[in-house]
Each structure stands twice: as structure tokens, then as C-alpha cells.
Amino acid sequence: MSKASKLIYFFIFLVTILGIVPWLIEISGRWDYYYTLTSVALLSIASSGVWLTFYIGRINIGQGAYALAGGYVVAILVTKYDVSFWLSVPIAGLFCSFVSMLIGASILRLRGVYFAMITLVLTEVAKLTAMSLPITNGAKGISSIALPGELSIFGISIIPDFSTLANVKLAFYYVAVILMIFVFAGMYRLVNSRIGHLCRSLQQNEELASSIGVNITILRIIAYSISSFLGGIGGAIFISISQSVYPTTFQVADSINFMLNVFVGGMGYVFGPMIGTLFIYFGWDLLFTTGKYQLLIYSSIIIALILVLPNGLLSLRIFNKSNKREAK
Amino acid sequence: MEQVLTNGVYLGAQYALIALGLTLIFALMNVLNFAHGQMYVLGGFVTYTVYGRFEMPFVVAILASAVTLAILGAFVEKFLFRPVLKNSEREESSMLLAAGLAFFLDAVILLLFGEKQRGVPKIIDGVMNWDFLIIMPYDRILIGVLAITFIVTFILFMQYSKPGRAMRALAQDKVAAQLMGVNVTRYSMLGFALGAMLAGIAGGLLVSIVGVNSGIGGPISIKAFMMVMIGGAGVISGAIAGGFILGMLESIGLTVLVAYGDMTYLLIFVSLMIFLSIRPQGLMGKPWG
């Protein structure tokens, strides 16, 4: 695909999510879709982190742990220390990537199901830590977190105070979607850079990669810490929408869902997590009308997808023309 | 102290039974069965229905659990895991299928049995009291002994019967076993059925002590993963060791740290992570599964 047509696609995408979608919501009056779409954007940021660990050949079921940690960091900074929301989100991300470097140094030596199992355990550890530490307020969690305040540089306000806005949902929607665009653009750049190619060599054969001089230890830790950073900021913004965080906000089921998002979208495609999250989260929401059969239908669809489309939604023919070469 | 140790052995026997099924499935097919906890819950509910509702003998109920889960396991292997393992090149697919299956079984259990906590009447009444050092209800002793009996039977089956030998050969080296004329498809199916059956038996046994409810599947799976990681994935002796170690740790931890509650599990998790960073393959596992 040529550079020009890539740009055109990108432009169409921007117009759709920044202009057409809010307009459609406006005329249809379904304001609740803002919340759904914001969640999709934030969860897809966290899922893209999981995707990156898949990319280096590790099955990561521990993203819930970092999303929860990021959420708690923001909650504590905003409620206890009065730090601005816009500053505490990157702090949350950095905190998560620092923690993941410490943990990753030892657990990234594990492979295959061993790594999968230990990351699953990690999610449980995060929940229990949140329950038992005094600063996280135990099972009661932290609630009534203030809305994001004003962001200004040299006295010029860039983002207004959220509590003065008439439509907070729309504001969160824009924040989440713009962040998502940056994350996926960055991810696309990363995958097509030298580091991305090295990561792909890890996925195929670590011994071989290391034998031709790739420093696999450092590379694994870098990829894992970027992944956790994304999990952290995704979780951080997610909890400021509901303005509360509990140890059960992100748990094992959420970690598994992050993994499913990546898979349903397609593990071989950078934009897979975005499509996957949209499909899974919206599908789950739409199935709400089926009442008690919701989980049954949802899980049947997932099993059917795994049987029919083992390479994810983006491997469908209609997507192939536009996305395949772009992502690979 | 004696009390704590006895509790540990009793818990460990239950846990080992759960971990055995998980590790068997893993050894044969390299599949991490996320739905193991849900299979355990299903076994519990079958026993609850047969023993608690229809008031048939407990032995019949356990048999019903075992047969139901074995059939379920065989079907799951034949219609879900076999095609996925055949068609997909990445090992993640089978894991995702297992996760999907876990959600599916959760939904089925919820629809069939509701969300209430269910218990059954005691099998035997009375409490054994040995000099006030060890106090233990008789039904717990019975369940513990039954669990150990099942474990021993399973080991004997794996060690001396023809299917058992075939499955061990498969676990060691699939290609070599196939070259020696072992029917891989048949024994994979048998292994999966057997693994699911063990989960069902464990669920059936424990329903008489702790009851069962539809939400405990996930936590049980996590515990089973931990036991398998402690002992080493895919190794039968490892699963048994892992089960007893976890049972003992829990029993000791809950007594010593009784004031802190959740601290026990946190400490177990953290020490597990430290242990695995020193010895990634667990106590008895082969490196990289």
C-alpha cells in the first residue's frame, strides 16, 4: 500500500471517530454509547500492551494487575496528595513499567504456559495486595475521586476543568480516543522499527536470536515494560471515569478478556486489539438484552470464533486488502 | 500443631486430586485447561443433585459425577480441542479455547443450577477426638481417605495398565510413542476424559464438606495452576507434591496469620513467584514443559 493511500485511510479513520461518531450519537440520543466507546478505547490501549507481549512470544494474562495498579496510583495521588490528574496518569504508567521491570527480570525467563500461569497469578497478587495494604483502603476501595482538573501551560488553558463542562462523557470520549490514536500510532511505529523486527525474532526463536547477538534479556524487559505502561495508563483513566476503584475493578476475568481482545482482533495485526476490543465489548453490551443467556451466547460466539477464525477477525478477506500489508 | 498438620494433609489430598487432572491434560496435549475449576464445580453440582436432591447413596452420586465429567471431557476433546490443535500453528489458540470454554461452562452451570450456595447432608455424623490433640469430623476423615484412595488408584492405573503406559509414553515423546504404534487420538481423548473425571470426583467429594456454588470455578482453577507450578507442569508426582505443599501452607498460614486473613494467600503467591524465578520448572518438572 502506498504512503498516500495509508494517509487517506488514517484521515478517514480520524474523521469517523472524532466527527461522525459523536454526531451520530448526538442525533440518535444514545448518550450511553459514549461510555461504551470510551471504555473500548481505554481497554484497547491496555490490550495493545498485551499484544506487544504476544509479539515477543509470551502469553500475558497479567494485564489486569497493571491496570489495577495504575488505577490505584492515580486514585491515591489525586485524592491524598492533590496531584493533577494529567500529571498522575503518566506517573501511574511509569510506576507500572518500573514494577514490571522488577518482576519481569525474573519471570520473563519463563516461557509458554509457565509464563501464562505466573502472570495469571500476578493478577491475583495485585488484587490481594490492594486488599491488604493500608494505603489502598482494603476492600472498600477509594471512591469519589475528583474529575480531571484544568491543564494549562504558561497560563494558557489547553484542557478545561472537567467539572465545569456540560458534557463530561464527551470530554472523556475525546481524551480516550485521542490517546488511543497516539498509542496505536506509536505501536505501529515501534513494530516497524528495528526493535520491532528484533521482537519478531524473539517470537520465532529466542536461542537463535541471542546467538546472532540480540540482547534478548533487555529486549524482553523493554517490551514487557511498555506493555505494562499501557496497561497502567489505560486502567488509570478507566477508573477516573467511574471516579472509584476497588480491588475487584480489574480481576482475573478482565485479564483473560484483555487476552481475548487481542486474539479476536488477530494476533498478527497491530490494530487487532482495537477491532477485538470493539467487537467483544460492544458484543457483550448488545447481548445485554438476552438477559440470563448473555454469558452463554457470548461464550459460544467466542468458541465458534476460535474454531472458525483461528487468526482473528482481521484475517477476514474484506480486511485483508487494506490492513494486512500495513500491519505486517 | 498436630491439628494443623492433619488439616494440611486433608486439604492436600483434595488439592492433589484436582491438580492431577490438570497436569494429566497438560502433559498429554500441552493444553492449559482453564475450565478445570468449572469442571470441578460441575462435578460438585452433579453429586449435589444425585445425593442431595434424589437421595441416592453417596457412592452412586460420585460415580455419576465421574461419568458425567468423563463424557464431557471426551466430547470437549473430540469436538473442540482436537480441531483447534490441528488447525492452528500457535499454542495460544488452545489456551484461548480453554478460556472460552471456562466462560461457557460458567454460563451453563449458572443456568442449570442457579447461583445459590448448595450443600448436602452429612455422610456420617460424629467427630473424632484424639486426646484433644486432633479433632476431626468423621466425614472429613472419610473424604480424605477416599481422595487418597483415588490418587493411589490413579497412580497404579498410570503405572501398570496398558492405557496408562501409553499415556505416559505420549507425555514423554509424542512422535516416538506414535512410531511405536500408540494411537495418539484415542489416548488423547481418554486422557482428557480422565482429567475431567478427576476434577469431577474432587468436586463430588468436596461438596459434602464445603458445599458448592457457581462462582468458585475460577478461584479453584487458579489454585490448581499454583499447585501445578509448584510441582512442575505435566509431572504426576509434581502435581501430588504441589497439592500437598499448598494444602500444608494454607493450613499453617491460616493458623499462624489468622489475624490478617488475606495475608496468607498474598505470602503464598509472592513466595511462589520467588521460587519460580529460581527454579522455573517447579520441583520435578522438566525445563520448558
Q: In the predicted model, is pLDDT for residue A166 greater than 80?
A: no
CB contact B100 to A (< 8 Å) = yes
Residues A26 and A59 in one domain: no
Averaged pLDDT, B152-179: 88
Residues A19 and A116 in one domain: no
Residues A51 and A130 in one domain: yes
Contact B26, B158 (CB under 8 A): no
C-alpha cell at B250: 494454607
Residues A13 and A64 in one domain: no
Residues A39 and A6 in one domain: no
Residue numbers in B near A248 (CB within 8 A): none
State which residue of chain B sits closest to A119, comparing Cα positions: B273
Express each pLDDT in B226-243 by its tens digit: 888 888 877 888 888 888
CB contact (8 A) between residue A107 and residue B277? yes
Q: What was the pLDDT predicted at A157?
A: 65
Instruction: Give the separation between CA A115 and CA B165, rounded to whole angstroms.
Output: 29
CB contact (8 A) between residue B273 and residue A106? yes
The answer to the question of residue A140 being in a domain is yes
- At the second CATH level, the architecture of B2-278 is Orthogonal Bundle (1.10)
Express each pLDDT in B30-45 by its tens digit: 888 888 999 999 998 9
Please indicate whether residue B261 or residue A129 has the higher confidence score (pLDDT).
A129
Q: In the predicted model, is pLDDT for residue B271 greater than 80?
A: yes
Residues A12 and A110 in one domain: no
Instruction: Give the separation between CA B166 and CA B164, rounded to whole angstroms.
Output: 5
Average pLDDT along chain A: 82
CB contact B77 to A (< 8 Å) = no
Q: In the predicted model, is pLDDT for residue B268 greater than 80?
A: yes
Residues A76 and A124 in one domain: yes
Q: In the predicted model, is pLDDT for residue A323 greater than 90?
A: no
C-alpha cell at A320: 485483508
CB contact B90 to A (< 8 Å) = yes
Residue numbers in B near A111 (CB within 8 A): 288
pLDDT band at B70; cut points 50, 70, 90: very high
Please indicate whether residue B97 or residue B261 has the higher confidence score (pLDDT).
B97
> Number of folded domains in chain A?
2
CB contact B127 to A (< 8 Å) = no
Q: What was the pLDDT predicted at A259?
A: 87
Of A228, A251, A274, which marks where a domain is finished?
A: A251
Averaged pLDDT, B114-142: 75
Residue numbers in A near B253 (CB within 8 A): none
Q: In the predicted model, is pLDDT for residue A327 greater than 50?
A: no
CB contact (8 A) between residue A114 and residue B273? no
Q: Which domain holds residue A129?
A: 33-251
Residues A179 and A236 in one domain: yes
pLDDT band at A328; cut points 50, 70, 90: very low
Domain segments of chain B as ranges: 2-278
The answer to the question of residue A79 being in a domain is yes
Instruction: Give the separation between CA B76 and CA B71, rounded to whole angstroms.
Output: 9
A245, β-bridge pairs: A142
The answer to the question of residue A306 being in a domain is no
Low-confidence winner among A7-21, A91-105, A205-219, B156-170 (lowest mean pLDDT)? A7-21
DSSP symbols for B93-115: HHHHHHHHHHHHHHHHHHHHH-S
Q: In the predicted model, is pLDDT for residue A229 greater than 90?
A: yes
The answer to the question of residue A185 being in a domain is yes
Residues A2 and A141 in one domain: no
Express each pLDDT in B203-230 by its tens digit: 888 888 887 887 788 888 888 888 888 8
pLDDT band at B289; cut points 50, 70, 90: very low
CB contact (8 A) between residue A292 and residue B111? yes
A159, β-bridge pairs: A151
Contact B287, B281 (CB under 8 A): yes
Residues A115 and A226 in one domain: yes
Residues A12 and A81 in one domain: no
Q: In the predicted model, is pLDDT for residue A104 greater than 70?
A: yes
Q: What was the pLDDT predicted at B219?
A: 83
Express each pLDDT in B45-56 by its tens digit: 998 888 888 888
Residue numbers in B near A295 (CB within 8 A): 103, 106-107, 110
The answer to the question of residue A59 being in a domain is yes
- The CB-side HSE value for A126 (13 A sphere, CA atoms) comes to 33
Q: What was the pLDDT predicted at B72?
A: 92
Q: Which of A117-126, A227-236, B167-176, B267-276 has the highest mean pLDDT?
A: A227-236
The answer to the question of residue A42 being in a domain is yes
CB contact (8 A) between residue A128 and residue B266? yes
Q: In the predicted model, is pLDDT for residue A94 greater than 90?
A: yes
Express each pLDDT in B9-21 by its tens digit: 888 888 888 888 8
Residue % of chain B over a pLDDT of 70: 94
The answer to the question of residue A303 being in a domain is no
- Residue A310: which of B93, B222, B228 has the nearest Cβ? B93
Residue numbers in A near B84 (CB within 8 A): 306-307, 310
Residues A60 and A161 in one domain: yes
The answer to the question of residue A141 being in a domain is yes
Q: How near does any CA of chain B get to the CA of A306, in Å?
A: 6
